[in-house]
């Protein structure tokens, strides 16, 4: 049975935004699984995502401390409908990322990561797919704030879509 996914990272709530954008909340509430690749910043968002999602898989990022590090792992591995995922916040420099991550995660099909706020969708020569959803709240130098949706279905990752959100000035 296929599994619908929402993939997000680098939410930085309430530092960069008071809340997640409504289109993302709508997708979260409709998805089977929400994957968050770190930099939550405040445990209140973790609590709200747990409350509003059917299933939440997340890791902590470099801006997450205290209770967030107590409740979340640095790396998580999970399988959805035959697709093996790993989730981590940081993967290092973009140069050589595919080879470095393929060596570090040889037992997974998809690596979800964050940190850069830059959307990323590439495949290593080994077949490992690397996905970064960007950020829904802090686009930095990107033209849009973003998140991803996808479907795990019979061992395949399908329908990967990068969603662009309305541009809002960052919260100061």
**Residue 135 reports pLDDT greater than 90:** yes
Across 5-28, average pLDDT: 94
What residue ranges define each of the domains in the chain, with the CATH number in brackets?
Answer: 3-165 (3.60.21.10)
Across 84-109, average pLDDT: 97
89, 113 in Cβ contact below 8 A?
yes
- H-type alpha helices, 14-151: 22-30, 43-52, 67-71, 97-104
**Residue 52 reports pLDDT greater than 80:** yes
Across 17-21, average pLDDT: 91
Has this prediction a pTM greater than 0.85? yes
Question: What's the pLDDT tens digit per position in 139-167?
Answer: 888 999 999 999 999 999 999 999 999 76
* Percentages of the chain per state (helix, strand, coil), in multiples of 5: 20, 35, 50
Average pLDDT taken over every residue of the chain: 95
């Amino acid at each position: 049975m296929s599994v619908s996914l929402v993939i997000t990272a680098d939410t930085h709530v309430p530092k960069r935004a008071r809340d997640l954008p409504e289109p993302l909340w709508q997708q979260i509430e409709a998805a089977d699984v929400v994957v968050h690749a770190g930099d939550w910043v405040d445990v209140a968002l973790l609590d709200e995502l747990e409350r509003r999602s059917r299933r939440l898989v997340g890791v902590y990022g470099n801006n997450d401390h205290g209770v967030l590090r107590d409740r979340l792992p640095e790396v998580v591995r999970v399988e959805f409908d035959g697709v093996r995922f790993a989730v981590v916040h940081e993967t290092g420099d973009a140069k050589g990322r595919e080879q470095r991550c393929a060596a570090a995660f040889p037992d997974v099909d998809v690596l979800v990561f964050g940190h850069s706020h830059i959307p990323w969708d590439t495949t290593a020569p080994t077949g490992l797919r690397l996905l970064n959803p960007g950020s829904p709240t802090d686009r930095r130098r990107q033209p849009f704030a973003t998140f991803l949706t996808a479907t795990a279905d019979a061992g395949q990752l399908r329908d990967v879509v990068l969603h662009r959100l309305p541009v809002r000035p960052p919260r100061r």
